[in-house]
Amino acid sequence: MWEYYLAACEAGFRLGGLMVFQLQLTRDVGALPLTRDYMIDDERRASA
């Protein structure tokens, strides 16, 4: 059943029927930056 689920997810992504969303929730508006560029910068620093 697990393999069927994974195959169905793969087909959905390949055919454009599925998308992934990521939400960051916080009580304080200023707690998170407006963009997620900081993630890319950290990844670049880690791989250098």
Q: What is the pLDDT of residues 1-48, one digit of tens each?
A: 999 999 998 998 899 877 788 888 888 888 888 887 888 888 888 887
Q: Look at residue 40 and tell me if it is in a domain.
A: yes
Q: Look at residue 23 and tell me if it is in a domain.
A: yes
- What's this model's pTM, rounded to 2 decimal places? 0.38
Q: How far apart (Å, rounded) are the C-alpha atoms in residues 10 and 18?
A: 9
User: Would you state the pLDDT for residue 7?
Assistant: 94
For 28, the domain range is: 19-48
In total, how many domains does the chain have? 1
Q: Look at residue 42 and tell me if it is in a domain.
A: yes
Distances (CA, A) of 10 to 2, 3, 13, 18: 12, 10, 5, 9
Q: Look at residue 36 and tell me if it is in a domain.
A: yes
Q: Which residue has the tokens 């997810």?
A: 9
User: Would you state the pLDDT for residue 30?
Assistant: 84
Q: Look at residue 33 and tell me if it is in a domain.
A: yes
User: Would you state the pLDDT for residue 3?
Assistant: 95
Q: Look at residue 38 and tell me if it is in a domain.
A: yes
Q: Look at residue 37 and tell me if it is in a domain.
A: yes
User: Would you state the pLDDT for residue 2?
Assistant: 93
Using only the alpha carbons of the chain, give its radius of gyration: 17
Q: Look at residue 3 and tell me if it is in a domain.
A: no
